[in-house]
Amino acid sequence: MVSEKNKSANAQRPSLLTRPFLLLCAAMFLGYANQWVITPAIPLYVDDMGGSAFVAGLALLAFSLPSFTVRPFVGRLADRWSAAGVLAVGLMLLAIGSALLLVPVLAMLFVANVIRGVGWAGLNTGGYTVLAMAAPAQRRGEAAGYYTGVTASANIFFPALGLWIVAEHHGFQLAAMLSITFAALGAPIALRLKREHSSAHLWVAAYCNDVSCYIPSGRVLQEGGYEGGGAMIYYGRPGPFDPSVEGRIITTAGRLMRRLGDS
């Protein structure tokens, strides 16, 4: 009996490795790679340009200050326009800011970091918003674990790579070019996510063309009660829905939205 119950519970769990979730993780990994391959090398760059430790701190502040102060406004934009669009714009700004790091003028470092800070705000605000929409309700905690694991893996690997490039190849510009490449690769992925899963392609219509019956989510179906276990008989249905109903509806809606995004 326990085995059958576990099988039933697993059948009701919608898939986590969906196309939107995988696209999101890929875009975020590249965005974090952009950040962490170059940021640890900035103090070394300032020192090489003749600046002091205080100047290096100010350069990092030029990134950090806008990266959190603009987030409420970026979040409002994500709500009113598109979370995936905000993510894509954030990656574009990160690429532009990293490109400005190639200009060998210390003052340009501050301009570049302000732009990168705004881009970082867009990347993270848009990313977390898309995560909330892309992850199934029953598995949002698990999805957040995978999501943060993807971003943390970039935090672990790319600082060492960036410092190695600067130390062994005297190549701050090489590290900056690699940073540009990561963001430039991530932006088309985020744009694809926006195009395929834009809210403009989704129109939720309820209680139209008569009422077939309540169609419960997997969680409600598992809990039972009126909408989850008994309402169907009053609409001429023989019994509760199959546990896969929520996943089948979401999968079909996603497929139709992707088709609209390609048209």
Taking alpha carbons only, the member of 240, 227, 189, 144 closest to residue 30 is: 189
Q: Which residues of 105-132 are buried (b: 16+ CB within 10 A; e: fewer)?
A: eeeebbebbbbbbbbbbbbbbbbbbbbe
Number of H helices, E strands in the chain: 12, 0
> Which whole-number Å values give the CA distances from 258 to 16, 30, 206, 247, 249, in the listed order?
18, 23, 22, 16, 14
Q: Does domain 12-197 have CATH number 3.30.390.30?
A: no
Residue 116: predicted pLDDT: 97
Token look-up 């501050």 returns: 110
Give how far the C-alpha of residue 63 lies from the chain's centroid of Cα atoms, to the nearest Å.
20
Taking alpha carbons only, the member of 194, 187, 30, 191 closest to residue 93 is: 187
Report the C-alpha gap between 228 and 7 in whole angstroms.
Answer: 19
Residue 186: predicted pLDDT: 96
Least confident among 20-34, 65-79, 98-112, 130-144:
130-144
Report the C-alpha gap between 147 and 123 in whole angstroms.
Answer: 13
Residue 184: predicted pLDDT: 96
Token readout for 226 is 């009126």
Instruction: Tell me the per-residue pLDDT of 77-106, one tens digit each, with 9 for 90 and over.
Output: 998 888 999 999 999 999 999 999 999 999
pLDDT higher than threshold 90 for residue 170 = no
Strand, helix or coil for residue 263: coil
Q: Where are the alpha helices (DSSP H) in 170-239?
A: 172-196, 218-223, 225
Identity (one letter) of the amino acid at 218?
G
Looking at mean pLDDT, say which of 16-30, 106-120, 230-244 comes out highest.
106-120
Q: Where are the domains of the chain?
A: 12-197, 199-263
> Which whole-number Å values give the CA distances from 133 to 30, 154, 184, 217, in the listed order?
20, 23, 24, 15
What residues contact 128, with CB distance under 8 A and at least 6 apart? Answer: none
Strand, helix or coil for residue 209: coil
Where is pLDDT greater, at 243 or 33? 33
Where is pLDDT greater, at 22 or 202? 22
Q: What are phi and psi of 110, to 5 degrees?
A: -70, -40
Instruction: Tell me the per-residue pLDDT of 37-88, one tens digit each, with 9 for 90 and over.
Output: 999 999 999 998 899 999 999 999 999 999 999 999 999 999 888 899 999 9
Model-level pTM? 0.77
> Which whole-number Å values give the CA distances from 109 to 39, 126, 155, 169, 173, in the listed order?
11, 25, 22, 21, 12
Classify residue 197 by its DSSP letter: T
